A and B are shown apart, each in its own frame.
Chain A
Amino acid sequence: MHPVTQAALASFSIDPWITVALLVTALVYLRGWHALRLQMPERFTVVRLASFLGGLATIFVALASPLDAFAGLLLTVHMIQHLLLTMVAAPLLLLGAPQIPLLRGLPARFVRAALGPFLAAPELRTLGRAVSHPLVGLLGFVAATWLWHVPALYELGLRSPSWHAFEHVCFLVTALLFWWPVVAPWPSVALWPRWALLPYLLAADLANTALSALFSFSETVVYATYATAPRLGRGSALDDQAAAGALMWVLGSAFYLIPAAAIAIKLLTPPLFPGEGRRPSPLAGARPRALRAGVRGRSGTLDLLRLPLLGSVLRRPGFPWVMRLVMFALATLIVADGLFGPAMAPMNLAGVLPWTWWRGLLVVTLLAAGNWFCMACPFLVPRELGRRFLPAGLRWPRALRSKWLAIAVLLSYLCAYEAADLWDSPAATAWIVLGYFAAAFAVDGLFRGASFCKYVCPIGQFNFVTATLSPFEVRVKQPATCATCTTQDCIRGNDQRRGCELDLYLPRKEGNLDCTFCLDCVHACPHDNIGILAVAPAADLTRDPRRSSLGRLSARADVATLVLVLVFAAFANAAAMVAPVVAWQESLGTVLGLPRGPLTILLLLLALVPLPVALALGCAATGRTLAGTHAGVRELFCRFSLALIPLGASMWLAHLLFHLATGGTTLLPVLQRTALGLGVTALGAPDWSMSAASGDLPWLLPLLVLVLDAGLLLTLWVAWRIATGYAGRASREAALVLPWGSVACALYAVAIWILLQPMEMRGTMVHG
């Protein structure tokens, strides 16, 4: 192939969002089509499937293939792109009769709860009938075609990608409405008789012919862009315009006249058998057995332990320990490099691995898959050693069986991080890890169970709280099996395996709080009745059952305070690295005559405990008064504080993703240096240019804002769900949610402000 042709054909401009949207649509349709085919095989044929998928493929070709890349250079190519969208993609999509398969393909609960009220609303049904009226379809399609070919609007589309995308949306939507009466996708009801479609199609053809004649016979180039664009080949811009007009004329007319002819032939052909042509019953060709089988097949929740490859790996009893040993080896490397390696954080494993990589991956994993980092915790190794060398027989003091001690440790850690710039000090990082080793060794060497994880570990508390948003949970598969179980190995353990050391009795375990995903219960259960099951993220926060080992969260002020500390720490931690806050802190230190370290600790403590607790108590009291509910302020404080978890987690994620994206490449030269130090030359010499912060990443800020959007929306949803449990009327629910929603919106605004400020590039080097 000629290199120029090869280069032209390689000019794909694939938009990931469009690609994902098309593929998800295909997946949903296929799922619905498959279910409907079991019931109505004669209506949902393979041809229908091929039509719909062909329509999606045509959209992909129009928007992602070289057609898009050359649309700005040649009007002919741009015309083909638009014809594909309006004349090919739209009718093909409708031939797939997409309404019911798309609805059926979505989760039934989502359709019922989320879409149901809209689908049943009389106003929206009226609107649907109005826009699917043939007159609206015809006028809308012709108007869109003509308007978008007005030079000013066409040029706008050529110059602005956003307007170009909007133009394509206009074309596709109006084309779908235009072809709707012609294709009449099942189960729509025709508003006009079939013969009326003949003048309908001819009118559209007339409008198309008039427009294409303008292009074909114009003696000037209509669009300035094509007049100045470089000519590809011998033809002039005017030739290109005439060719585009001819294409629109000939192909357009064919697309209108062929269906018109088909309709005319069908109308003029007498039926061979009486009754032919009648509208078939919706259940034509239904197969009762298949129908029943389809309904039965809808049950079942995704269990990670049952996945083909991953499940068999996860089920192996030794798997958690392999992960722990790998993480322990990494922690050992971090300690060694932190103590004996370079003092500059971006050159040291202790500066890059924990603060840039581990934290970012931790939050992503918690939100996407669950508390896997606790399962692979390296501190379980010294903990096991402690149990071997120390008695490990004491019971954890009753007075400390809460989260208060963990909150104190967490505050100490957060203060140390900011005041001592842990992120910038590999040696201090190494000492923190060593301190962790010693604490895990001592606590679990002296006390029974997993006291360190449950009552002391600040990272564990972060993981427990954030994992409440995870889509996976270690839980019982069939509660009926537990009801007949007499051994309760999941908590007591047996000769082979330990039971849950965090005192979570699986039949009464709710959510991911205090669960380390250690899988001890999974391996101990003799009935194989525990899995890692898919759950609705954050749904656990909206309920208040009596939880094993935790009781009701509405009575746990310590858990609510822990949540508030973690949520506000997300904002404080990010704010501490933006220039205006750093400057303000310096000026405040000058005014108060306080050195930076003590001032940082003082401000952090104020921002993490009194401020959030006072705010939350105020919200609870205000909501109680406004809603006139009988629930106590303490109970409302405990319940609604949990609603802030999604916003806090989204702030942590946005902040840590920023570091991962801008400083992630720093790991490579650090690994190269470490490998050289260990005598491994395969990775080559360190390329320190990689340790500079990544420059312009135009996608990063929108992504981070989207993350915060998700956090805010989930917070508002959780608050509303909690409120529905206290108030039966909408006005009371709104009154309960209002103060918490206001705080959430204020925190969101703070988060956006932080993201828009110049940030310290922690964990990276500045190259001069």
Chain B
Amino acid sequence: MSWCSSRTTRGLVCLLAMLVVPALRVALAQADGGLVRASAEQGGLVVTLFTTPTPLRVGVADVSVMVQDAATRATLLDAQVTVRVAALHEDALPATVRLSHAAATNKLLQAGTISLPVPGSYRLVAEARRGPARAVVATELTVAPALPPLLALWPYLALPAVVVGIFLVHQWLRRRSVGTAREILAAAHDGRSAR
């Protein structure tokens, strides 16, 4: 029986599936954490606001918030957290996003995504509520223009060139080794003829 059909392989394939499926599911959670933008202590709560990526660019950004008890520094998981984001240079209405632990990778944080449609300055306000306690933390964000799409995609666009380069080296090495083998055979043949 070929090794490929052995029980071990089937078991490993099952293991692969078992690990990859949750991996894909977990990967759907957005990245969080990142740069600490602001932190404030109010009403018995400590609220710390993070954003990622750094620097912020036009498009989608992750916002995450950690809420802690001011006295004990214990993380509070049951706080309600919302963030409002509005461009400073426009009269646009602020967009409000409710953050959640489900969207966060670090489950002590609550995370969500905000849309930053144009470059410029934005005001980001996070509000945490836990029972009667309430804390607000605000910061200003500077959003850079989006990277040109070709620049953002360069690793994927460079891949064919890299593979072709490796292939060319491969072919050169292969032909060189064939050439060397031919030379050796020819030399051996000449030696026999001379004898």
Contacts and interface: CB of A to CB of B under 8 A. Distances in A.
A73 B2 contact: no
Contacts of A230: 36, 39, 46, 48, 66, 68, 73
**A-B complex: 5 closest residue pairs judged by Cβ atoms:** A117-B173, A7-B107, A69-B106, A300-B2, A705-B156
B156 A706 contact: yes
B171 A730 contact: yes
Given A14-B26, A16-B27, A709 B173 contact: no
B16 A27 contact: yes
A11 B108 contact: yes
B1 to A, nearest CB: 7
Q: Which of B3, B46, B175, B177: most chain A Cβ within 10 A? A: B3
A434 B170 CA distance: 54
A23 B36 contact: no
Chain B: number of interface residues, binned into ranges: 35 or more
Interface of B: 1-5, 8-9, 12, 15-16, 19-20, 22-24, 26-27, 29, 31, 33-36, 39, 46, 48, 53-54, 59-60, 66, 68, 73-75, 77, 101, 104-108, 113, 115, 149-150, 153, 156-157, 159-160, 163-164, 167, 169-171, 173-175, 177
B98 to A, nearest CB: 17
Given A117-B174, A230-B39, A756-B149, A15 B159 contact: no
7 contacts: A12-B26, A23-B16, A118-B170, A120-B177, A297-B3, A701-B149, A706-B156
A233 B2 CA distance: 56
B109 to A, nearest CB: 9
Nearest to A162: B155
B16 A121 contact: no
A20 B18 CA distance: 11
B15 A23 contact: yes
A231 B20 contact: no
Contact of B20 (A19, A228, A300, A756): A19
Interface string A203-233: 0000000000000000000000100111111
Contacts of A7: 75, 77, 101, 107-108
Contact of B107 (A10, A229, A756): A10
Contacts of B2: 297-300
Contacts of B105: 11-13, 69
A34 interface: yes
B35 to A, nearest CB: 6
Contacts of B31: 13, 161
A37 to B, nearest CB: 12
A345 to B, nearest CB: 28
A712 B33 contact: no
A114 B163 contact: no
B84 to A, nearest CB: 20
A70 B106 contact: yes
A161 B33 CA distance: 11
Given A26-B12, A713-B164, A117 B177 contact: yes
A273 to B, nearest CB: 37
A159 B35 contact: yes
B59 to A, nearest CB: 8
A716 B33 CA distance: 43
Nearest to B55: A159
A275 interface: no
A8 B174 CA distance: 53
B54 to A, nearest CB: 4
Interface of A: 3-4, 7-8, 10-16, 19-20, 23, 26-27, 30-31, 34-35, 64, 66, 69-70, 72-73, 114, 116-118, 120-121, 159-161, 225, 228-234, 297-300, 302, 696, 698, 701-702, 705-706, 709, 712-713, 716-717, 730, 748, 752, 756
A302 B60 contact: no
A11 B106 contact: yes
Given A117-B177, A701-B153, A756-B149, 12 more contacts: A7-B108, A11-B108, A13-B31, A20-B16, A20-B20, A73-B33, A117-B170, A120-B177, A161-B31, A229-B36, A300-B4, A756-B150
Nearest to B37: A228
A1 to B, nearest CB: 13
Given A160-B54, A698-B60, A716 B164 contact: yes
A173 to B, nearest CB: 18
Q: Which of A16, A26, A229: most chain B Cβ within 10 A? A: A16
A716 B16 CA distance: 32
A426 B55 CA distance: 47
Q: Which of B23, B46, B169: most chain A Cβ within 10 A? A: B23
A117 B4 CA distance: 27
A346 B158 CA distance: 37
A189 B73 CA distance: 55
Nearest to A159: B54
B16 A297 contact: no
B128 to A, nearest CB: 13
Contacts of A297: 1-3
A608 to B, nearest CB: 26
A4 B3 contact: no
A71 to B, nearest CB: 9
A27 B73 contact: no
Contacts of B33: 69, 72-73
A19 B107 contact: no
A515 B24 CA distance: 35
B27 to A, nearest CB: 5
A7 B109 CA distance: 9
Nearest to B66: A230
Contact of A159 (B3, B16, B34, B157): B34
Nearest to A6: B107
Nearest to B158: A709
